[in-house]
A and B are shown apart, each in its own frame.
Chain A
Amino acid sequence: MSVTRFTKSAPKYVAVAAATTLLLSLGACADDGGGSGGGGEGDKPYVALVSKGFQHQFWQAVKKGADEAAAELDVEVTFEGPETETEVDKQLSMLQTALDKSPDALGFAALDSEASIPLMTDAQSRGIPVIAFDSGVDSEVPLTTVSTDNVAAAAEAAKHMVELTGGKGKIAVLGHDQTSQTGQQRVSGFVDYIEENAPDLEIVDTQYAGGDQLKSADAAKSILQANPDLKGLYGTNEGAATGVVKAVQELGKAGDLTVIGFDSGKAQLDAIKDGVMAGAITQNPVGIGYETVKAAVAAIDGEEVEPVIDSGFFWYDKETMDDPEIAEVLYE
């Protein structure tokens, strides 16, 4: 039954698809003056993106940017990632499957840079251009890396911590992951800035809680408990920062110390509006997705791409969070 239904509707589907493709390619021709050509006749170039996750709001924003670029540049994009950012093995099997589908280009956000090297080599031998996004891969294979400069972004957070605390007293860091490059840079960029620029600001503790809101809240409470005179607390991603906010609220310490976060999410945005959190750094996840697909298309077309594409970051607080440029990259 399903077979007959399929064959019946198939011609209509093909017609619609053909018309759409025609329209889109006409549009593309008008824009670029007839650029690429691609592999298959009439087939859109296919860019497979393997991300670090998909359920997290951040990755949904990356996907949004990728979809925008896909529509604009007339390519087909798929987006997938493991459920949690610790499932390195699952991500590798996703990467393997993606390669087996012979995409025209591959975008990859490595959970574990080292572990993915064999598959990177595999991609190279198959002639599939690879664009790294979000965090770098220690390999020569990726043509470029589209990412936030996390060291600079964390230093920006530190700069605001120094300003808001007056550069004196005890502060602490609640990290989300001590094994990924991103997780490490979010801490080291902050710590290095403080050590160089604010010798009177003492980082008394750095704890990690895997970015899990509940565990981050409990960890942040322990830090606050052990350091009643803490002046500032910095959470390095949405989960960690949300946990810090939760801890400060549960202990009734809102306003007693400077809380600085990273990324967005409703809990964090609300905390900034309510004054529990002083401000946060946001990456530009829409930009990451967009630039990744754009770089992938450039690579398919044989164009040169810059070795590093910085997708940028912003500091935002109560005053600036509604600015259009910032509001666009914040997510609930």
Chain B
Amino acid sequence: MTSPTTPTTSTAGPAPATGTTRGPRYRQQLQQILAFAGLVVIFAFFSFASPFFLEWANIKGILLATAVTGIMALGATFVIATGGIDLSVGTGMTLCAVMTGVFLTNLGLPLAVGVLGGIATGALLGLLNGLNVSFLRIPPFIATLAMMMVAQGLSLIISGTKPIYFSDVAGFSQIALGELVPGLPNAVLIFFVAAVVAGVLLSKSLIGRYALSIGSNEEATAISGINVRRWKVAVYTLAGTFTGLAGVVMASRLNSAQPGLGLGYELEAIAAVVIGGTSLRGGRGTILGTVIGALIMSTLTNGLRIMSIPQEWQKVAVGVVILLAVYADILRRGKDA
């Protein structure tokens, strides 16, 4: 349990965990290399197994399939870095999609306002999660489990249990399927841009440093003068914002808000984060790892489908990969720590 990095500074030094010793950074790089190697192996395997796997249209399909859960996983990385968990991202994403539908079709607001409204819905959900965790001291698992149900119920209530279609909203489907960069769907572009933003936030800004610091040693972080409660609220709100973005992208891709979707997506996002080497105990995590983790999940599913492996076995395979990834992480931690 004891963290190898204890805070040595009390005033100015904001991040006791990430950079002060060589250990964690070295381990993180190793984890990323390993995850990346895994992705390469999976790619190589399917390339040999099927002549169609490496076609650009298929790669594009894999990237597009990664976008929604990938964006959610970016936000989840911050929460998991604090040692918390957010189970509400799947159904929360659906609620954001539904609210986007309400803003754009029922209220007829301009496209940009509706989209920002959808993203703001996610931020609000995240804010509530953060307040519940920080100030009501409800364990993250329970607080976000409850929010998962609230979001699911609200999606069904607000939509009247019917899908909301965006057919009359000009340009909405372009958000995910337009191609600002020729050949690359915008959903993928959004995912990449969001990943770069998340990466900078996690490694170069206060919110990221404090998130890792809280996850590494919450008490020490508090003692060093950081307002842990407030930063936790910020972290959950940030995660919710990514959830909102994912909701908009999903709604755009389906050109509809499907109120029945979403349950189970949170676990895929969490799996992507964990495969990417972010420790569920907190204190350690990278965005690059999460992106690779999300790609591994969708590449595996795509490749197995291209090979016509039945869905039952696809699930088994993905489960085994998660086990392997986490076990590799544990093995390495045992050696290093």
Contacts and interface: CB of A to CB of B under 8 A. Distances in A.
Interface of A: 53-57, 60, 83-84, 178, 204-205, 207-210, 212-214, 217-219, 221-223, 225-226, 228, 242, 246, 250-251, 265-267, 270, 332
B55 A55 contact: no
11 contacts: A54-B161, A83-B152, A207-B310, A212-B261, A213-B254, A222-B305, A225-B53, A225-B55, A226-B305, A246-B254, A332-B162
Nearest to A270: B167
Nearest to B65: A218
B173 to A, nearest CB: 10
A83 B57 contact: no
Given A214-B254, A225-B52, A207 B162 contact: no
A266 B185 CA distance: 24
B161 A207 contact: no
A60 B259 CA distance: 14
B311 A218 contact: no
B64 interface: yes
Contacts, number: 95
Nearest to B263: A84
Interface string B291-319: 00000001001100111101110000000
The 7 closest A-B pairs by CB, nearest first: A222-B305, A55-B161, A218-B65, A226-B306, A225-B58, A221-B61, A208-B311
Nearest to B50: A226
Contact of A207 (B55, B167, B259, B305): B305
A178 B311 contact: yes
B260 interface: yes
Most buried by A among B65, B250, B253, B260: B260
Interface in B253-277: 253-256, 258-261, 263
Contacts of B68: 214
Given A55-B259, A57-B163, A178-B311, 13 more contacts: A53-B260, A55-B162, A83-B263, A212-B261, A213-B254, A218-B298, A222-B58, A225-B52, A225-B57, A225-B306, A226-B307, A267-B254, A270-B167
B39 interface: no
A55 B165 contact: no
Interface in B41-85: 50, 52-53, 55, 57-58, 61, 64-65, 68
A250 B263 contact: no
B177 interface: yes
Given A84-B260, A226-B50, A218 B61 contact: yes
B189 interface: no
Contacts of A251: 57, 61
Contacts of A83: 152, 156, 260, 263
A332 B162 CA distance: 9
A320 to B, nearest CB: 22
Contacts of A267: 165, 254-256
A83 B250 CA distance: 20
A297 B229 CA distance: 60
Contacts of B260: 53, 55-56, 83-84
A207 B305 CA distance: 8
